[in-house]
């Protein structure tokens, strides 16, 4: 399965990634990939990724422009985003 | 409903007038303007950079305005939120709500701001004398939003 | 504090800008504009005449603003109320409140309107197709004011 | 004792009085004149006065530009006002 991921604010700045296209093996993830699983998968990249995605920063996830919780299911073609709690207004 | 995420400044008076002139039975227009304070947490702030998530931010704002319109008997809403780099004292956000009677417009306007603060994907980075820093979300904003569910 | 009872119209945008520009640590300006509705209690309204009690009205408005300033941490208030004969859709009243944070400005602005509606000596007479009529005070306005004492 | 009285809105229109200077006998009223007593005194002028001041219209009183209740004491030189419940804003 293929997904697109966006990173914002502190995550974008620290990870030095604003967006990426990610291909995941179907046998490992198809129909079972959640926001939490994706975070854990990405966190394996390095200590910085681990800290940013699984650390004390309360990362929020969105799928196709809608805020979702950690258990939300991601499917092929989804646009996923990770960002810190919002601070607009 | 008019929702805009933009780098350009806005004219609050013009937007209020537009809502006033749209219907002859408008009795109340409540508006909120949010500004870049030159002081935050004791530090002098010279500028603020606002990042957003193009596509999602507009949808989130529209969803918040729709919620307000379903909860209260209001006529129309104008919501403008700026992004990019703003200097101290610059305008950040305008919410203007028109209705027949004042109570509904006050509630809807404050509701929209409380939800915007906690649900709309914007992030602020301040420039102070000691450098740049991302702002942390405030628990007082979560509490302000939770009031509406009681 | 700026309080004015006047026949002339006002410019809400200008007054909001004045409050914004007065201090660099202003984070929020909440404003209310009240208008002459062309419809009231099912009847078409062509004009509204506002009478007041010169001397007492200004004092009553200043007392209300002082109360708001003692209850909430706000920076400044502009209150303009028109009198005389106004046409449908005309502006009647403006209340604008500046503060560091939005919650205080929202509360103070609504408080001032709720008290103005029940304590400031103004009286409205409408002109409809069946002639002139004085408006009756609304119990909903008394209830709106009483909320602040709970 | 001498007082000045103002009437507003419906009262002014119906009574056809906007302001008057009133002299009251000291022996009858000095130090005992309240808003309610003054209303009752004025109400004797005619049925219209009775209806407007003591009828179902909830007349409010002010002394020297301050809202007061029916028991408030009026003294020599005071400016008194009578008006219906307010309807501004």
What is the pLDDT, as a whole number, of residue B90? Answer: 98
Using CB atoms, list chains with 3+ pairs below 8 Å to chain B.
A, C
What is the pLDDT, as a whole number, of residue D30? Answer: 79
Backbone φ, ψ for residue C88 (5° rounding):
-55, 140
Band the pLDDT of C37: cuts 50, 70, 90: very high
Q: Find the DSSP H helices in chain B.
A: 12-22, 56-71, 102-119, 139-146
What is the pLDDT, as a whole number, of residue B80? Answer: 98
Q: List the Cα angle B62/B68/B71 in 5-degree steps.
A: 140
What residues in D contact C113, CB-CB < 8 Å? 89
Q: Which of D84, D68, D57 is nearest to D33 (CA)?
A: D68
Joined tokens for residue B19? 């809502």
What is the pLDDT, as a whole number, of residue D31? Answer: 85
Q: What CATH code is assigned to B2-145? A: 3.90.1170.40
Q: What angle do the packed helices C102-119 and C56-71 form, to 10 degrees?
A: 150
- Nearest-CA distance D58 → chain C (Å): 10
What residues in B contact A52, CB-CB < 8 Å? none
DSSP state of D87: -
Determine the residue of chain B that is closest to A68 in CA distance. Answer: B119
What residues form DSSP beta bridges with C135? none
Determine the residue of chain D that is closest to C34 in CA distance. Answer: D89
Whether residue C74 contacts residue C104, with contact meaning beta carbons closer than 8 Å, is answered with: yes
Q: Return the sign of the alpha-carbon dihedral for residues C17, C22, C26, C30.
A: negative
Extents of the domains making up chain B: 2-145
Per residue in B28-43, pLDDT (tens digit) is 999 999 999 999 988 9
- Nearest-CA distance B26 → chain C (Å): 6
What is the pLDDT, as a whole number, of residue D29? Answer: 87
Q: How many CB atoms lie within 10 A of CB B129?
A: 8
Band the pLDDT of C41: cuts 50, 70, 90: confident
Q: Which of D27, D11, D2 is nearest to D61 (CA)?
A: D11
Is B89's CB within 8 Å of C39's CB?
no
- Cα separation, C27 vs C36, in Å, equals 30
Q: Which of D61, B97, B28, B78 is nearest to C91 (CA)?
A: B28
Find tokens 């029916």 and name the residue.
D70
Q: Which residues of D touch C (CB under 8 A)?
A: 6, 8-10, 12-13, 62, 65-67, 81, 83-89
- Cα separation, B114 vs B141, in Å, equals 7
- Cα separation, C135 vs B16, in Å, equals 27
Q: What CATH code is assigned to D15-83? A: 3.10.20
Relative to beta strand B2-6, strand B74-82 is parallel
Relative to beta strand A60-63, strand A79-83 is antiparallel
Joined tokens for residue C84? 């005389």
What residues in B contact C87, CB-CB < 8 Å? none
Extents of the domains making up chain A: 15-83
Joined tokens for residue B18? 């537009």
Q: How many residues can be counted in chain A? A: 89
For the cut 90, the answer to whether the pLDDT of residue A30 exceeds it is: no
Q: Which residues of C touch B (CB under 8 A)?
A: 11-14, 16-17, 20-21, 24-35, 37-39, 88-89, 91, 100, 102-103, 105-106, 109-110, 113, 144
What pTM did the predictor assign?
0.96
Mean pLDDT value across residues B108-132: 97
For the cut 90, the answer to whether the pLDDT of residue B150 exceeds it is: no
What residues form DSSP beta bridges with C124? C50
Q: What angle do the packed helices D35-43 and D47-54 form, to 10 degrees?
A: 150
ipTM field:
0.95
- Cα separation, B118 vs C53, in Å, equals 46
Hey, of B55, B67, B121, which one would you mutate to test binding to chain A, going by the most A CBs within 10 A of its CB?
A: B121
Mean pLDDT value across residues B15-23: 97
DSSP state of A89: -
For the cut 90, the answer to whether the pLDDT of residue C9 exceeds it is: yes
Mean pLDDT value across residues A62-66: 97
- Cα separation, B15 vs B6, in Å, equals 15
Helix (DSSP H) and strand (DSSP E) numbers for chain A: 4, 5
Mean pLDDT value across residues C4-33: 98
Is C37's CB within 8 Å of B24's CB?
yes
- Cα separation, C40 vs B57, in Å, equals 39
Is A89's CB within 8 Å of B113's CB?
yes
Which segments of chain D have a pLDDT < 50?
none
Whether residue C2 contacts residue C55, with contact meaning beta carbons closer than 8 Å, is answered with: no
Relative to beta strand B28-35, strand A2-7 is unpaired
Q: List the Cα angle C128/C129/C132 in 5-degree steps.
A: 45
Is B31's CB within 8 Å of C16's CB?
yes
For the cut 90, the answer to whether the pLDDT of residue C121 exceeds it is: yes
Q: Which residues of C touch D (CB under 8 A)?
A: 34, 50-53, 55-56, 59-60, 81, 92-93, 113, 116-125, 134-138
Find tokens 């914002």 and name the residue.
A8
């Amino acid at each position: 399965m293929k997904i697109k991921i966006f990173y914002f604010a502190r995550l974008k700045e620290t990870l030095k990634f604003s967006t990426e296209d990610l291909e995941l093996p179907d046998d490992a993830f198809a129909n079972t990939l959640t926001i939490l699983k994706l975070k854990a998968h990405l966190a394996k990249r390095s200590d910085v990724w681990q800290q940013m995605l699984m650390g004390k920063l309360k990362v929020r996830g969105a799928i196709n422009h809608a805020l979702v919780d950690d258990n939300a299911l991601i499917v092929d073609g989804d646009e996923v985003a990770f960002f810190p709690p919002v601070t607009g207004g | 409903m008019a929702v805009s995420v933009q780098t350009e400044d806005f004219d609050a008076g013009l937007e209020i007038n537009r809502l006033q002139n749209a219907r002859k039975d408008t009795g109340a227009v409540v508006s909120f303007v949010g500004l870049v304070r030159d002081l935050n947490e004791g530090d002098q702030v010279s500028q603020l950079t606002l990042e957003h998530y193009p596509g999602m931010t507009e949808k989130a704002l529209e969803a918040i305005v729709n919620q307000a319109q379903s909860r209260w008997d209001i006529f129309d809403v104008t919501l403008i939120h700026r992004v990019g780099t703003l200097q101290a004292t610059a305008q950040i956000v305008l919410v203007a709500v028109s209705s027949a009677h004042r109570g509904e417009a006050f509630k809807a306007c404050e509701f929209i701001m409380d939800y915007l603060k906690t649900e709309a994907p914007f992030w602020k980075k301040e420039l102070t004398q000691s450098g740049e820093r991302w702002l942390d979300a405030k628990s007082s904003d979560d509490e302000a939003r939770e009031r509406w569910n009681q």
